[in-house]
Amino acid sequence: MKQDGIKAALEQSRRGGHLWIFCETPLLAAECRTYIYNLALRLGIPVKCGIKDGIEIFPRQDRLEEGEYGNAIRAPLGVHRKINLRYWFHGAAPTPEAQIDYLNGLPKLREDRLKSLIDRLSFPDVYKPVVVAPYIPIASLPGKHEFRILDHVRTTRRDSRNWWARCPSCALIGRDRTGDNLSIQIKDGRFYKCWAGCTRDEIRAALGRPIRLKQAA
């Protein structure tokens, strides 16, 4: 980044560190991601993607559809909600005043500089999301019927990938007070999971729709 003329700020974190790039004006996520992902690829640094482990890059998407939210991250100098601690940048003394002066004095990335860095670059194919064929529920086909979990639960929220709802099995035994143990994939509602550990059989049984076992011929 120094060779590219970018001054990044290193911040401590609970499990390592965060490297922040501050921009002079709001810049397109797609262009910022093109630069960072190509830089990581050039340096041989793996990026966390799906089941692959590596560094995390935010934002994780180029755009948000209507009704979608971005990623929840801790802002610079923010207090970590889980452990109630504030982490400092390495370039200044650990006081709010010194930290803010340090951040204000950092050279900011300009739009024209970013565009020159990504000239003739495209987002690396290895990190492009897999295009999934649209799912057509069996219930929408003539003469076919299919169990749909979304027909039996009320969703409480959604993010870029999942609906979240109260798990029927958890509710039956007095758990899931926050009403979001159950995640249901937006693209394909056949895929759902209770993050408290309830099985599909337990969820279906709690709904009075047990999974039918195929009889042997």
Q: Please indicate, yes or no, if residue 213 is contained in any of the structural domains.
A: no
How large is the average pLDDT for residues 4-24? Answer: 92
Q: Please indicate, yes or no, if residue 211 is contained in any of the structural domains.
A: no
On whether both 43 and 75 belong to a single domain, the answer is: yes
Query: In whole angstroms, how far apart are CA 88 and each of 8, 14, 61, 96, 179?
Result: 14, 11, 27, 9, 35
For all residues of the chain together, what is the average pLDDT?
86
pLDDT (0 to 100) of residue 145: 67
On whether both 66 and 144 belong to a single domain, the answer is: no
Provide the number of structural domains found in the chain.
Answer: 2
Evaluate if residue 149 carries a pLDDT over 80.
yes
pLDDT (0 to 100) of residue 217: 41
> Which tokens in the block code for residue 203?
């969820």
How large is the average pLDDT for residues 21-44? Answer: 95
Evaluate if residue 86 carries a pLDDT over 60.
yes
Q: What DSSP letter does each residue of 101-138 carry, written as one string?
A: HHHHHSPPBPHHHHHHHSTT----GGGSPPPPPPP--G
Higher per-residue pLDDT: 213 or 183? 183
Residue 191 structural domain? 138-206
How large is the average pLDDT for residues 72-86? Answer: 85
Q: Please indicate, yes or no, if residue 3 is contained in any of the structural domains.
A: no
Q: Please indicate, yes or no, if residue 193 is contained in any of the structural domains.
A: yes
Residue 135's pLDDT band (boundaries 50, 70, 90)? low
How large is the average pLDDT for residues 51-59? Answer: 81
pLDDT (0 to 100) of residue 5: 92
Q: Please indicate, yes or no, if residue 45 is contained in any of the structural domains.
A: yes
pLDDT (0 to 100) of residue 215: 46
pTM of this structure: 0.63
Higher per-residue pLDDT: 107 or 129? 107
Q: Please indicate, yes or no, if residue 184 is contained in any of the structural domains.
A: yes
Identify the domain boundary among 101, 127, 153. 127
pLDDT single digits (tens) 153-197: 988 888 778 889 999 999 988 888 788 899 998 888 888 999 988
How large is the average pLDDT for residues 206-217? Answer: 71
How large is the average pLDDT for residues 89-100? Answer: 95
3-state secondary structure 29-65: HHHHHHHHHHHHHHHCCCECECCECCECCCCCCCCCC
